[in-house]
Structure 1
Amino acid sequence: MRKSFFRFLAKLNKWLLPSFSKRQLDLANASKWQLALIGWRYYVTTRALD
């Protein structure tokens, strides 16, 4: 159940949250909220893949 929840959450993130890689965002110049979103997406993606 936990893995399916994170898979659903990953699909929701992909649909709702902006993709910074498509915008070619430089991580050195990213703001705190952009870094938080990147961290959140990374966390959810790794949990969905386990």
Structure 2
Amino acid sequence: MFKILAKINKLLLPSFTKQGLDLSKAKKWQLAIIGYRYYVTSRAVD
């Protein structure tokens, strides 16, 4: 299930690392997306 979510995230959600986003200057919604993507990716690897 998490592998499918990870693929959907890669297609739909923006990649902030490619944009060069500084985490100390990120907005709350950007941090929420980063946290969500991290959670799904870490579960997909297991």
Please confirm whether the aligned pair reaches a TM-score higher than 0.5, indicating the same fold: yes
- Corresponding residue pairs, total: 46
- 1:26 corresponds, among 22, 32, 36, to 22
Superposed CA RMSD in Å reads 0.2
- Normalized per residue, which structure has more helix? 2
Structure 1 segments unaligned to the other structure (5+ residues): none
Letter of the 2:29 counterpart: W
Q: What's the offset of the Cα at 1:46?
A: 0.4
Bigger Rg, which one? 1
Paired with 1:22 and 1:48, the residues of 2 have a C-alpha distance of 21
Paired with 1:38 and 1:18, the residues of 2 have a C-alpha distance of 9
Normalising by structure 1, report the TM-score: 0.91
Runs of 4 or more off by more than 4 Å in structure 1? none
Normalising by structure 2, report the TM-score: 0.99
Q: Percent identity?
A: 67
